[in-house]
Amino acid sequence: MNRPIKILIAKPGLDGHDRGAKVVANALRDAGMEVIYTGLHQTPEMVVEAAVQEDVDVVSVSVLSGAHMTLIPKIRRLMDESGMKKVHLIGGGIIPEKDAEELKNGGKVSGIFGPGTDTRDIVTFIQGLFKGKD
């Protein structure tokens, strides 16, 4: 890539806790990525509209409310319908391993990061998505 990776971080749904999302946003910014944070209580439509407007490379959603099996597939579907099939979707938050595997294996997300994940691992994962794509 000839420019910084551009990533949108969103908090869809009714979840009002965004400390983890802000920590990740700061780590990604410190690693040289361009980060857009949408704030709390976003609808899937709002998330995708922001991603389209910002022309991002990655959409990252943080879900702590337990609605991940509804919100993440809906965001992926809306992204695909908006011409963002090649844009990566990653997730984080309280997502049980069984659900994380289903989301990854079903092609909904490129990666899932739970509580306690080292932010350096998230940075490395995202950078790896774009290795060799210059």
Q: Residue 104 sits in a domain of what CATH number?
A: 3.40.50.280
- Burial-class residue 105 by CB neighbours within 10 Å (0-12, 13-18, 19+): exposed
79: Cα separation from own chain's centroid: 12
Q: Domain range for residue 72?
A: 6-123
Which tokens in the block code for residue 51?
């991603």
pTM to 2 decimal places: 0.95
For residue 129, tell me if it sits in a domain. Answer: no
Give residue 134's pLDDT: 60
Q: How far is CA 62 from CA 1, 3, 44, 106, 108, in A?
A: 25, 25, 12, 19, 14
For residue 20, tell me if it sits in a domain. Answer: yes
For residue 1, tell me if it sits in a domain. Answer: no
Tell me: pLDDT of 38 over 90: yes
Which tokens in the block code for residue 74?
């809906």
Which tokens in the block code for residue 26?
């700061």
For residue 90, tell me if it sits in a domain. Answer: yes
Side chain identity at residue 40, one-letter code = L
The strand pairing partners of 35, in sequence order, are: 7
Q: Report d(CA 21, CA 18) in Å as an integer.
A: 5
For residue 133, tell me if it sits in a domain. Answer: no
The single residue listed with the structure tokens 């993440």 is: 72
Q: How far is CA 83 from CA 49, 55, 62, in A?
A: 11, 11, 22
Give residue 15's pLDDT: 84
For residue 24, tell me if it sits in a domain. Answer: yes
The pLDDT tens digits of the residues spanning 72-125 come to 999 999 999 999 999 999 999 999 999 999 999 999 999 999 999 999 999 999
Tell me: pLDDT of 51 over 80: yes
Count of structural domains within the chain = 1
Q: Report d(CA 100, CA 5) in Å as an integer.
A: 24
CA angle, 90 as apex, 79 and 51 as ends, to 5°? 40
For residue 73, tell me if it sits in a domain. Answer: yes
For residue 130, tell me if it sits in a domain. Answer: no
